[in-house]
Amino acid sequence: PRVRAEGGSAMSGSEQLAPSNPKEKALWDAFQKFDVNNDGKIQQDEFQKLMKSLGSFSAKEISRLFKEADSDSSGTVDWREFIKWICSGAATKTMSADSAASFARLLTRETRDEACFAEQTAGNKQLIAHLKETHQDKSEAEKARDLKRKQLQAKKKATPAEPQAAAKVPENNLDIGDAYTGFRLPLPVTPEGARGLLQHYLMNGDSDPLHPKYVNYLTTQFTQLYRARHPKPVVYTDTPKPGRIIVVGDTHGQLADVCHILYHLGTPTSQNKFLFNGDMVDRGAYGVEVLLILFAFFLSDSECIIIHRGNHENEDMNALDADAGGGFVDEVMRKYGLMAYRRFVSAFKVLSLCSVVEKEIFVVHGGLSRVASMSIDYLNSIDHTEVTAPHPMAVDIKDQVFSDLVWSDPTDQNGKFKSDRGIGIKFGQDITTKFCMQNRLRFVIRSHQVPEDGRGYMKQHEGRCVTIFSASNYCGDGGNYGAVLVLDSQHFPKYEIIEHYAVPLEDMPKMLKMGNGGVTGAKEKQKAVSELATTAKRWERELEKMIIGVIERKPALWAHLVDMSLGNTLMINDWRDLMSEFIEGNHPWPDGAKHWGLVDPQGKIDVGRFLGRWVVNMESDKYSSFLNSAVKHVYEAVVGLDMDLNKTLALFDADGDGTVDVKEVRQVLGMFDLGLTSSQLDRLTGQIFRQASKVARDNGDNEAHVRMNVQEFLGHFTVVYKQASGGAGPELSDFAKEALNAIGGLMMRTPADQLISDMEKAAVKIQKCFRGVSVRKDQKDQKNKDEEGGDKVKTPRTSQQTLAAAGGARRSSTGPFASMSQQASKMVAVFRAMDASGDGILQTDEFVRGLSAIPGIHEMEVKGQALTEDKLMEVAQAIDSFGNANGTINYLEFLQAFESIEKEGSSDLANTLGEDITTVLFRHRLAIRMGCQYLDEEGTGKVRAEDFSTVLNGVNSVLARPERALTTTQISLLVDALKEEVEGDDFVDHDAFLRAFVILDTEQNRAVVKRF
């Protein structure tokens, strides 16, 4: 429901109740999370849905809590009831410790650590649920159309030899043609073939990719065989006799480490058995190659290798950017496409969760569980093949145990604690001891985290918990060793830990040729060589993360600056606190500020400049076209109001002083449906006043409370449209363009007094000839009415009064806007001088007569033609075409005709709305990709245009609450710009669209900081 607020603005129920006290803002944010439909009240179903998502409350407890909060038994909880419920302590009084902690997280601002993954995953799963529900409602006609399209595509793929091709292809012949010159894998896979594949990747990395048909074969065959060989989540295994088991920790797509381990410790055989303990993918660049090597060895001998699932063999983790902990989706999409990734996901679902070696040693990726008495038999009852990982906020006990096994970490304190990662737990020595005693185990081997001392291993809990991490120099900047743990049957249960520091992949063939003599001492030497580069790379990556954080949170930062009227500069400590609150407190913000040169000699930071430095852009002509359309739509919405001059100025200048501040502008723009979200309006007004603050600062004025001349603001706003329209608006003839430029230059060169005087004389003549006594009588009546206070709209001042007031009100001629506002004031004075009727809107004949009165205009020629009244009428009709083409010209149309597109600060302003829209898409890019991939049934990288629209609307309704991320109009314009016709239907290439993001440094000549 919508209600009309005082002043005429349409506000939702929640917006009217928003607290002004900043201390209440955290509680207000929590209230809005509950209030999904934004009506100012929490419905019971809204309360149940959010509380259930926290994962710590039963249905019975949720029902009881709602009744306690609903003090008046109305069936809803309003803001006052919510505040009373929270502040009285009643909310958490009867909650368990876990529930209270979970609820406390809701009441605090979101942090930007690994816990964000849990929240993001929950949102993504809500989006998929939304898309499933939406597609259930597809009409029969739509379903029939989809079926017909698929049949046509299948028919096109068919060949005349299809009956023969349909026959089963022999396993050793995947019908790979002679054109393929890469590695030929013998089928069925043999140990020699697997070693050949390892050698191929050692020599070539991913520069000579394996044929897609081999990839399809390896992933499909591995999934089938591994499921049959290890159907349960727990693998019971023994050390080969004679022989050994080698436990490998996280490798994260670091092919150099895998090659180093397999070449120095021997490749997998039934006597040289390997147990890869999860996290083979993400972050590194070679997750595909690592998995294919392991799959090949397993297919060659199913007894030679066991593969565990880690927290990264998980669709939701894979979808993240590599710098955020993911990257495998991007890697597979780049190398083999969406269908290949889906086959890898199928393989992830069959991977084991843990192993028991000789019934004495427990091996798991993450750690132990929150359940008090955990038996191996209970772990073996978990259904581990339905999903790659449970919902991060699951309430089912077995799902929670599943998550604990791949996410938990040991701690030196006794007990069980909530994990900083947001999923899993921290478990102490007492938990490890109890688990081992109950299951008659000697110790636990796990992986999952880089040891704190930079080694490749870590022993805790009096040796009963051993961490093995195998990715040396983790992510290229970790500076740590890698290690493996060897269990030899001759010495069992004693073990040996072997550390390494792998050389880069391109150097490894040379190192291996040198033999053992060449690798003696290589571990320490290689580490020493890479230390300096590692430190520099780590700092570079830290800066990159900070920049991405700033870009993703930029709309919220702008909104906060506008809302709190903080001005355009902050002391460095205040700036650091702002960054820590909105982005991430653990980043070295002061060091970053110094590195970027943000701090002036007074210890202040120009926040506007800082927020404008890095922008996210899209390298796509189609997207650029969309942005222009979106910006034009906003301006045309204002022009479409077709207000007269007095109403236009009064809207922005509520107190009639000739100036406006950022809050006044924001409030007025929010009164109309301009096709912008609230955050986009914040950004628009913030950028307009950024230039105003700069001028104020240069003149020594108080920039925190800067005010802008009304006409100057409207001039800036008009320039946005002109730039989006290519400089002169729609469908202007060359003659009209040149004439407007010439007339505008003449108007600016002519002294104001002479220009206004001649125009007013012309206006009086027009009034006498065409308006008559009745018009003057109406004006006199209006004046009397204004003097009596009967009308809230101020009487128009004369042109000379306007010129004096607008240029000099509230500031001297040497004030911060003296030079700018004189030109802007001149324009409004000229408009009023032309307006013979005084109705605030120019008739085209008034406009022509006014132009004719400008001294020197009849001596001008445009394209060899004199500016006669007929030619001036042609110009007038061209200006009228900007708006409604109704024979009149309003003030914004007038400004649009004559405003220069070179106005200082306008280039930034013209990009403001586009950047905000792009930033929103960038922030939700992972959810958009996941939604599109869900609907992309054929894995082509394209979805139907209407499905792409459904995904964006799903992001609005699920992930961007309580406010929409994009407006309905913006979604429609975006889809129209991106769609392309394929076989009679409109499609959007979602893969290309989401790969077009690029971060630019505007202070380094728009240098590329990062591509995605």
- Known catalytic residues? 312
Q: List CB contacts of 377: < 8 A, sequence separation 6 or more.
A: none
Show the DSSP H helices in 419-571 as ranges: 429-438, 508-513, 515-519, 522-552, 554-564
- Six token digits for residue 820: 């700018």
Give, as one character, the DSSP assignment of residue 179: T
Where does residue 366 fall: left (phi above 0), alpha (psi -120 to 50 degrees), or beta otherwise? alpha
The SS3 assignment for 708 reads: strand
State how beta strands 234-237 and 354-357 pair. parallel
Give, as one character, the DSSP assignment of residue 356: E
CB 970 within 8 A of CB 919: no
The C-alpha R_g of the chain, in whole angstroms, comes to 34
CB 411 within 8 A of CB 426: yes
Whole-angstrom distance, CA of residue 884 vs CA of residue 311: 59
CB 756 within 8 A of CB 831: no
Measured torsion, CA atoms of residues 977, 980, 984, 986, in degrees rounded to the nearest 10: -50
Give φ, ψ of 661 to 5 degrees. Answer: -110, 180
b/e map 325-361, b = 16+ CB within 10 Å: bbbbbbbbbebbbbebbebbbbbbbbbbbbbbbeeeb
What is the layout of strands, in order, in the sheet containing 409-410?
A: 409-410, 425-427, 416-418
Q: List CB contacts of 214: < 8 A, sequence separation 6 or more.
A: 174, 176, 185
Q: Which whole-number Å values give the CA distances from 439 to 359, 360, 412, 492, 632, in the listed order?
A: 9, 9, 22, 18, 69
Q: Give helix 662-669 / helix 645-652 axis angle, nearest 10°.
A: 120
Whole-angstrom distance, CA of residue 215 vs CA of residue 212: 5
Give, as one character, the DSSP assignment of residue 957: I
Give, as one character, the DSSP assignment of residue 480: -
Whole-angstrom distance, CA of residue 282 vs CA of residue 292: 15
CB 1012 within 8 A of CB 923: no
Show the DSSP H helices in 788-864 as ranges: 799-808, 818-834, 844-852
DSSP-derived secondary structure for 44-78: HHHHHHHHHHTSS--HHHHHHHHHHH-TT-SSEEE
Cis-peptide, bond into residue 493, ω within 30° of zero: yes
Q: How many CA atoms lie within 13 A of 594 on its CB side?
A: 4
Residue 322: how many CB atoms within 10 A of its CB?
20
